[in-house]
Each structure stands twice: as C-alpha cells, then as structure tokens.
Structure 1
C-alpha cells in the first residue's frame, strides 16, 4: 500500500483513540515554571524576559483597555511556538497543520474582539463597514464587501498558519526522500540535497516562530480597531 505525502498530517491514533489531545497537552509540560525561590533559574529568567519583550511590542499600539489581553496573547504565542517547533522533530505530529484546530483558536478570539468593539464603541465599530465619503450608489456594495472581509478574517488566520506549516513539512519530506533515493546512485548530489535539507530545516524553525508571532500580531491589530 502506497502512503500519501499528506498522511503525515493525519491525527495519530492508538487503539482507536486520537492522540491529538496528548499532542495539545504535552507542550505545557515542557515549559519551565516559575518557583517560589528568591532567584529563578537561567531558563526561567530568559523565558520571562523574552515573553515580556515580545508582549510589550504587541501591546505597544494598543490603548490601555487592550492591555488586559496581555496574558492571552503571551500564552497563545508561546503555545503556538512550542507546538510548531515540536512538529519538526522526527516521529511527531504537528496539531497546527490541522485547519480545524487553527480555526478553533482564531474564531473565538476574533469574535471576542468584534464583540468588544460593538459593546464599547458600536458607532465606531460599525463605521468600519462604510468608509467616509462613499458615493451613495456604492454604499450597499461597499457594506457587503466590508462585511465579507470582516467575516473572512478568522478564516485567513487559520489558513495562513495551516498553509505555511503544511507547505514546509511537505517540502522537507520531498527533499529528504530525494536524498535517501539518490544516496546509492549519486552520493555527491545526495550530499548536496542533504545540505539543502539542513538549510530548509533552519528556515522552518524560523517559520514556526514567525507564524506564531504573526497569528498573535494580527489578533492584536483586530483588537486595536475595536478598543
């Protein structure tokens, strides 16, 4: 039976039980937690410093009302980075390659930003659907277009994260398969392909971190429009 390249993105099962819940829970156990000691370890100190710097950059354009989301943004970003990086290890599963999971993260958070805008400043929130100075004949068309673009935001968030990770994983598997096949036939070409695979792996590590940051950054921009 010939396996498809996309089989690596299927949720693994054990005795008929999906292991995606285990894959979603595991990252939390790998992160060092702060202790009650007077001095923290270097790992905890470095982790706290990095999270603080990135969260500060995310909250910089937001009003003070949006700073309440600091814990949500920091937790989500660390969680996504850990999931994405763990998926690059051999014999592992990347839950963020599942569109359903990414939409499950994106849609509630996007909806929360929209509801905050409608509750705190409904006139300003609804004003985004119709730019100022729009000619009268174009008003219905622009309202429909802006409404569609508003509802497409969570889909764009989920598809962007899924597509980037899926494309990288597929490319890595194709190059690794080519290196394995070419090794007995053309060793020099196989070594060159292996070097390319190593560089691609470094690129995928950067993509895994950047896509998590972009996911949270776009959520912060949506929140900025509604606070």
Structure 2
C-alpha cells in the first residue's frame, strides 16, 4: 500500500501519547552549557562565538531599549535551528512543519512588539498606518491597507517557515522515492538521482538555518519600528 508523502509531517505517537514534546526538548539537551573553566573546549567556544556574532549583527541598529530582547531572540534562534535540523535526521519528526507551532511562536512575538510600541511611543506607532504627505482622498483606504498588512505579519511569519520546510522535506522524499524505484531498472540514473538527493540535502541544511535566521530577523525589524 502506498504511504502518503504527508505522513512524515504527522506527530509520532507512542502508546497513544504524542512525542512532539520529547522532540522539542531533545535538541536543546545537545547544546553544552558554558563551564567555569578559563579555557573551554572547542564546541563551547564555537557556540559562544556564533551566539555573540549573531546577537551583535541583529541588535547593532536597535536602541538600548530594544536590546533587552537579545536573550529572548537569541534563544529563539537556537531553538528554531535545532527544530529545523531535527527533521533532516532519519526516523525523526520536524515540529516546525506544524503551522500551529509556528503561529504559536509568531503571534506572541509580533503582538509583544506592537504592544511595546503602543505603550512607549503611541504617536509614532500609529503614524506607521499613514505615511506623511498622503493625499486626503487616499487616507481612508491607505489606513485600511496598512492595518491589514500589520495583522498579516504574524501569519506571514508562521506560513513562511512552515511552507519552506514542508516543501524541502517533500522534495527530498520525492527524489528519494524516485531513486529507490529506478535502482533495479536504471542503476546509472538512480546513482545520478542519489547525487542530486545528497546535494539537495545540503541545500536543505542551509535552508533550515536561513529560515530560522529570517524568522528572528523579521521579529527584530518589527521591534526596531516600535522602540
């Protein structure tokens, strides 16, 4: 019986219990904790270098009030990278292919930046809905369009992450299925297909990290507008 390609996006269960919580917690256990020694090992040094450079790059254009979010967004970045890369391992599950989980991350982050802007600088935040110099006749439709675009932001955050990971995983499974099917019929073509599959897997590793970076980058841009 042919198994549906979308079965890989279903949360695995054991004895009727979903294992998504275990899948979310496990990658975070792989990151070593900084030690109290003067000289750390190479893995901790590389991890610290990555986090420091990532935080410096994202928060350099943001003022001091917005830089208070550095710990939260750096943690979110590491969490998303772990979740995205988890699905590239055999017999695993990618929690970030679930739209419900991505929206649960996107909506609170977006809403927090909006509330922060309305509380600290309400005039400037409301001014984003109406660009300066707009003709009077265009004011009502422009305010409606800008309001809709504001509320679409969290949806775009969640859907972008879900769609990119889902498309990559489906493409990998399609090419792998084609390689297995062609192996007894045309071994040479199957080997070429396998080579393409390996290159696509490397590309998917890059996509997994880039999508996590883009997610956090967009949140910092929203934060920069409201601080």
* TM-score, structure 2 normalization: 0.98
Alignment partner, residue 52 of structure 1: 52
Q: Which moved more, 1:205-214 or 1:134-143?
A: 134-143
Cα distance in 2 for residues equivalent to 1:57 and 1:90: 33
2:226 match: 226
CA deviation profile, 1:131-161 (whole Å, cap 9, x unmatched): 1111112111111110110010000000000
Q: Which runs of 5+ in 2 are unaligned?
A: none
Q: CA deviation at 1:211?
A: 0.3
Q: Does 1:16 align with 2:16?
A: yes
Separation (CA, whole Å) in 2 of partners of 1:36 and 1:62: 31
| CA distance in structure 2 between the partners assigned to 1:144 and 1:23 by the alignment | 41
What secondary structure sits across from 1:137 in the alignment? helix
Mapping of 1:7-86 within 5 angstroms? 7-86=7-86
Determine the structure 1 residue equivalent to 2:104.
Answer: 104
Q: Note if 1:165 corresponds to 2:187.
A: no
The Cα RMSD (Å) is: 0.8
Q: 1:91 deviation in Å? A: 0.4
In structure 2, what is the Cα distance between the partners aligned to 1:23 and 1:139?
A: 49
The DSSP-based 3-state class of the residue aligned with 2:69 is: helix
Give the 4+ runs in structure 1 shifted more than 4 A: none
In 1, Cα distance between equivalents of 2:53 and 2:97: 27
Instruction: Number of aligned residue pairs: give it.
Output: 227
Find the residue that maps to 1:152 and give its secondary structure. helix
Offset of residue 57 of structure 1: 0.4
Shift of 1:108: 0.3
Using the alignment, how far apart are the partners of 2:162 and 2:95 within structure 1?
A: 10
For normalisation by structure 1, the TM-score amounts to 0.98
Shift of residue 2 of structure 1?
Answer: 3.0
1:28 Cα shift?
Answer: 1.3
Distance in 1 of aligned mates of 2:216 and 2:60: 13
Q: Deviations over 1:184-220 (max 9, x none)?
A: 0000000000000000000000000000000000000
Q: What 5-or-longer segments of structure 1 have no aligned partner?
A: none
The equivalences for 1:123-202 within 5 A come to: 123-202=123-202
Q: Distance in 1 between matches of 2:117 and 2:57?
A: 22
